[in-house]
Structure 1
Amino acid sequence: MKVYKCFSSYHLKDSPHHPLPITKELHKKGFIDISEGTPAYFRAVEPEKVIASLRDKYLRSAEEVIIKLKSYQKGQRENWSPVWYLQGEWNIRGKVRDLVENSEKEFITAFVDAKMALKFKKAFETAKHKGLDVKIILLEKNKRYLNALSRFGEVIPVSLEDILYREEEDFQKIFTEALFSSEAPSRVKGVFVRDGKESIMVYEEDGIIKGLIVRIPFIPLFQRMVILYLIEKSREKN
């Protein structure tokens, strides 16, 4: 370890207790040691000790941030909001798993993009483990996805063309067409509903996957009714 000597400083000339400002700051941070005596000497602390100190400070700061964030989340839960905007596939998958954890009896879903359904396997595994009534609607027929998802619950392939383009009109049919239309600026990829009380709608906008958590009571309930409507119509056809 090299030892360095400080020159040309009136601070060190008169007293070792008044080092240069930068030396004092480094000593305060624990990066250097200062010797007693005149003239004063300083030396760098072993790198391992410096890195360990920085690591400890980083971990303490991270723990403080986590505590503050949890406190903030608790405050936000108290200030209940009926709609939350999500962005990022990782974040959306986590929120869907939370949705399953909060489910009591039923977890029903519908996917325009069957491939996307496989990205939520962990959520389906949790739902199955909890013994929930799991229904998965696929709006495209693909045996690969049907087989892969069937181990999690009831999988129902639905043809929108056969259901939507009949002569009869009803409100649920109109809502279904508006919800799953491929011509809309924001294309719905999937919908998750728990117990008719809360839902997450995943959609794509400008090539970015986004999501909406909805807790307004009548909207998740109506989304549930639409999905069950599609199941009923599909069974009638078959």
Structure 2
Amino acid sequence: MYPAINPGLVSNLEKLGLTENEGKAYAGLVSLKEATAREVHELTGVPRAKVYDILKTLSRKGFVEVRQGSPVYFRAVDPKHVIGRIKNEFFTCAIEALDQLNELSYEIPRSSPVWCIQSEWGIRKRVREILYNVREELIVFSTNPEFLGEFESDLKKLEKNCRLILIVDDLNKFRGMPFDFTETGKDFGDFVRNMFIDGVQYTEDCFMIADGKESIAVHSAGNNREAVVIRLPVVCHLQKLIYNWLVEGGFIIDTHQ
């Protein structure tokens, strides 16, 4: 009885461009060293009716060598050579694609001032871009010390060059960070942590207004995080007016850690 093929290995081979059955067949051949199509089928579970054609496809891709005869035998090409070639091709392809993308310059009559970002990588990248471009004032509200902590070094740099206003829902959660924070009142903190829309709970992880011109709201909706970026000065001005109203109304307490 043959041991099962590692599904993690097959998944990685799929990411390198093979199909699931191609990944299983190649991994099986690496394990067997040299085998017939039937032996590959018995080890990997690749359908018997498909395994021969799959091995021939792997041969054309350079993963497998074929020894003609009766029966036909197949042998895996050394994984170091195969993966090395794929890595080089992928790197070259990535560089060429980047160059080609940078050459694109289509005239867009109008760009939307509102964008929604739903990937963790994209959200962090956009926050860092906003922090990098701040020149005069940054207002930050956060309920999530882990998320805000990812940008601690960026915020420390801003302290020297612009007005930095940091507001949190609970000072105790943020005591480990080297900033002076202003705390919201309990009612407002409870509100932003427990908003429900159509039965889905929303929690405002972080909100920023940069120079009164651009804002980003990062919130968790259920188990997903997303961000809304607004580059519309009139909206950002209204958001800042709301902040001033909250201060004047006592919803934001002028207390520092």
With the length of structure 2 as denominator, give the TM-score of the two structures.
0.57
Measured after TM superposition, the shift of residue 198 of structure 1 is: 0.5
Aligned to 2:217: 201
| SS of corresponding position for 1:148 | coil
> 1:87 and 2:118 equivalent?
yes
Normalising by structure 1, what TM-score? 0.61
Q: 1:75 deviation in Å?
A: 5.0
Measure how far apart 1:236 and its partner are. Answer: 7.8
| Partner residue, 1:157 | 183
How far did 1:232 drift? 4.0
Kindly, what percent of the aligned residue pairs are identical?
22
Report deviation, 1:85: 0.6
Which runs of 5 or more residues in structure 2 are unaligned? 1-32, 34-54, 66-74
Q: Which has the higher contact order (CA 8 A, sep 6+)?
A: 1
Q: Tell me whether 1:224 sits opposite 2:254 in the alignment.
A: no
Query: How far off is 1:46 after superposition?
Result: 5.8
Matched letter for residue 215 of structure 1: R
Q: Is the 8 A contact 2:214 2:233 kept in 1?
A: yes
Structure 2 Cα separation of the partners of residues 110 and 49 of structure 1:
52
Higher radius of gyration, 1 or 2: 1
1:137·1:157 contact (CA, 8 Å) conserved in 2? yes
Distance 2:103 2:112 in 1: 17
Q: What pairs up with 1:74-223 in 2 under 5 angstroms? A: 80-111=111-142, 113=143, 116-130=144-158, 131=160, 132-138=162-168, 140-145=169-174, 147-149=175-177, 151-152=178-179, 154-159=180-185, 161=187, 180=192, 182-185=194-197, 187-189=202-204, 190-223=206-239
**Aligned mates of 1:197, 1:78 — CA distance in 2:** 21
CA distance in 2, matches of 1:133, 1:120: 17
Rounded to whole Å, the distance in 2 between the matches of 1:58 and 1:237 is 54
Contact 2:202–2:221 (Cα < 8 Å) also in 1: yes
How many residues are aligned here?
188
Q: Closer, same or farther in 2 for the Cα pair 1:200/1:117, shift >3 Å?
A: farther
CA RMSD of aligned residues (A): 4.0
Residues in 2 aligned to 1:63 and 1:225: alpha-carbon distance in whole angstroms? 46
The answer to whether the 8 A contact 2:184-2:253 is kept is no
C-alpha displacement at 1:55, in angstroms?
Answer: 1.9
- The 8 Å contact of residues 97 and 122 in structure 1, kept in 2 or not, is answered as no
Question: What is the one-letter code of the residue matched to 2:202?
Answer: R
Which of these residues, 87, 92, 97, is aligned with residue 60 of structure 1?
92
Gaps of 5+ in 1: 3-21, 33-42, 165-176
Give the Å deviation of 1:59: 1.0
